[in-house]
Amino acid sequence: MAESRPNRQFSHVILGLDGTLVNTDYVVHQVLKSFLVKEGKTWDSKKSQCLLGKGPYEAAVAVLEDCELPYSAEEFLNLITPMLTEKWGNIKALAGANRLVEHLRSKGICVALASNSPRANIRAKLSCHPGWEESFAAIVGGDEVTKGKPSPNIFVEAAKRIKSDPSNCIVIEDSLPGVLAGKAAGMHVIAVPSIPKSTAESGAADEVINSLLDLRLEKWGLPPFVDWIEDTLPIEPWFIRGPVIKGYGSGSGLLGIPTANLPVDKFSDILSEHTSGVYFGWAGLSEGGIYKMVMSVGWNPYFHNSEKTIEPWILHDFSEDFYGEELSLAITGYIRPEANFRSVESLIERIREDGRIAEKALDLPIYACYKDSTYLRRGQSN
């Protein structure tokens, strides 16, 4: 990747936890949905977005007001907390989180963790991610300060514990309360919004990025990642499989780029862990054949899709459609964040460039080895 001159030098990093490093939002959504169904209420992802950045008590009050439940906040927390605690020990890391924590540790950067969650919950969430807890020079929980985010108290306390002036700290946060708290503490803030298409953080943060995969630490005078290869980022591979279905008609119809769409309802868990963007890897069809592919994950801003989709483009000319055929994917690398375009022509040009990047990169040994994955060959005849 091209080098960029740092805006200025920073010596310390303070990270949020929930929604920044771990997939707390999805866990909370699933638990609340299950609980509220038994209460005769409904809960959806848009309602869950209202809880982002809130501490447990504030979140409980918001749920009770929205659903008009006959509990006090304390009673509600007593009911819901055991259900959440059971999940914390298996909470998944978000895309790029392991990479970031390991990189900062390996470069000797002083890092603190500052979360609105109580310290006991933080400890439980960190327990399933080996090496994380030891990577933080200080950990500050919401129950250790008088006011949580958006008050600056948590970040001020974190800076004090790592013996840094706030102006020397870079904060990485996902929610608007976290961004506001970091700025109020006198720190520079990078926002990684949890809410799709959110613009609220843009005006408050010093930089807004799509995901931790897009982080360019050298812009802030910190040691850069050196793992990009030929405009691609190797990632921990993930695998999905499902029947090919008809999509919105924009792929082959408008763009002249046929995509093999998969049913998103089958992949809500894994989609919650992976950021929107353009990925690539290998595709296996049940009727035979392993092919290079590039795919978009997200909302396709140009077409204003209302749901997060998976749209692989298999880099091969087929003589006929294969709707209903089982498609297995090994996703091995990342190219870029999802973006909007001013014209359909510029969108097509960028998609084809993504295809060229993927086509070339998949010949590299670090990616080519996954072509032989047994996962891709399920159901294929010899």
Task: Please tell me the distance from the alpha carbon of residue 57 to that of residue 373, in angstroms, as a whole number.
Answer: 47
**Bridge partners, 22 (sequence order):** 18, 93
Q: How many CB atoms lie within 10 A of CB 12?
A: 23
Q: What type of residue sits at position 200?
A: A
CB 42 within 8 A of CB 199: no
Q: Which of 237, 243, 238, 317 is nearest to 286 (CA)?
A: 243
Identified catalytic residue from 68, 311, 326, 353: 311
Asked about 74 being catalytic, the answer comes back as no
Angle at 270 between CA 29 and CA 67, to 5 degrees: 10
Sign, CA torsion 361/363/369/374: positive
Task: Please tell me the distance from the alpha carbon of residue 110 to that of residue 13, in angstroms, as a whole number.
Answer: 6
Q: How many CB atoms lie within 10 A of CB 321?
A: 12
Q: What type of residue sits at position 38?
A: K
Catalytic residues: 311
